[in-house]
């Protein structure tokens, strides 16, 4: 996996959580000189055995870095880390910030403009594939920004997955919103369909097997559908993150004058699931909310 491009890259990773940790590990194993920071230092310390330098502050982590990868909770946190914790000032001119967090497109465009005024390049490059994809290096990476910056980052990003340049600043976040709209809506469709079958007396597992390979098949049916069959809702992608993304999609739709009634319906369903105590579960636990509405265990 190591090549001369990645092994010569000084990469700072800000945010060592469910996604940031396996991504940081892969970068270390690819030979990158990784510096890591997390608000809770103990999470960043997990990368030290793989060769990462663990920094006490985000600003310290980015000093001297060629590339800075952020994998943070939301746009407000990205704003705070970049512009209120000394990161923007600590970045060298010509550095490239690759924001792989899921935030609103307008926030990504604003961050890009503010960094450009300091001589710093920017890509918004959110991902799809969850922790499984992060561990395997098979993430779908949707990059918005200048083509030259995508090419500059390509060797490092390809350690993490498959990168596609989808347009100017903010476009990566638009693609991620599209991804999350499809994921959330399809989780709901699969859950409702399987519950209908179970309520009517069919074997839910067998129904899933029967429709696999047909037009209704999807990765959601295969992965999340199996979680529903097994009632396994341990968090891989959080219910709260799915809800945040649906709300970001609706906010963006309102900004550009686009009506999104299907997304609005599922935003309400995910919100009610969170209100009913499912916040700390996987987003496939929308199944539990729909089961409860139908008096099913």
Which residues are catalytically annotated?
176
Q: What is the 3-state secondary structure (H, E, C) of 120-165?
A: CEEEECCEECHHHHHHHCCEEEEEECCHHHHHHHHHHHHHHEEEEE
User: 201: buried, middle or exposed (CB in 10 Å: 19+, 13-18, 0-12)?
Assistant: exposed
Count Cβ atoms below 10 Å from residue 172 Cβ, excluding itself: 32
d(CA 200, CA 153): 52
The strand ranges marked E within the chain are 10-14, 33-37, 53-54, 67-70, 96-99, 121-124, 127-128, 139-144, 161-167
**How many Å apart are CA 261 and CA 83, to the nearest integer?**
35
The enclosing H or E element of 172 equals helix 171-199
| Contact criterion met (CB below 8 Å) for 72 and 42 | no
Q: What contacts 218, CB < 8 A, 6 or more positions away?
A: 186, 190
């Amino acid at each position: 996996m190591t090549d001369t491009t990645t092994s010569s890259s000084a990469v700072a990773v800000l945010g060592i959580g469910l996604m940031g940790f396996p991504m940081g590990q892969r970068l270390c194993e690819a030979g990158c000189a990784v510096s890591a920071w997390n608000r809770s230092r103990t999470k960043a310390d997990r990368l030290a055995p793989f060769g990462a330098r663990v920094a006490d502050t985000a600003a310290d982590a980015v000093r001297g870095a060629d590339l800075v990868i952020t994998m943070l909770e939301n746009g407000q946190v990205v704003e705070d880390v970049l512009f209120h914790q000394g990161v923007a000032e600590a970045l060298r001119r010509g550095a490239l910030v690759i924001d792989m967090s899921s935030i609103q497109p307008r926030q990504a465009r604003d961050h890009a403009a503010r960094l450009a005024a300091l001589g710093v390049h920017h890509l918004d490059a959110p991902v799809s594939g969850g922790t499984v994809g992060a561990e395997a290096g098979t993430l779908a990476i949707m990059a918005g920004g200048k083509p030259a910056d995508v090419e500059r980052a390509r060797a490092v990003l390809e350690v993490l997955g498959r990168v596609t340049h989808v347009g100017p600043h903010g476009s990566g976040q638009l693609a991620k919103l599209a991804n999350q709209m499809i994921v959330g809506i399809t989780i709901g469709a699969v859950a409702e369909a399987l519950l209908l079958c179970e309520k009517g007396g069919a074997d839910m597992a067998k129904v899933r097997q029967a429709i696999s390979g047909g037009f209704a098949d999807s990765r959601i049916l295969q992965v999340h559908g199996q979680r529903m069959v097994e009632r396994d809702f341990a968090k891989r992608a959080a219910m709260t993150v799915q809800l945040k993304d649906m709300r970001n999609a609706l906010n963006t739709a309102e900004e550009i004058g686009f009506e999104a009634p299907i997304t609005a319906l599922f935003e309400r369903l995910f919100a009610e699931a969170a209100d009913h105590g499912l916040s700390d579960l996987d987003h496939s636990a929308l199944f539990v909310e729909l089961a409860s509405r139908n008096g099913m265990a």
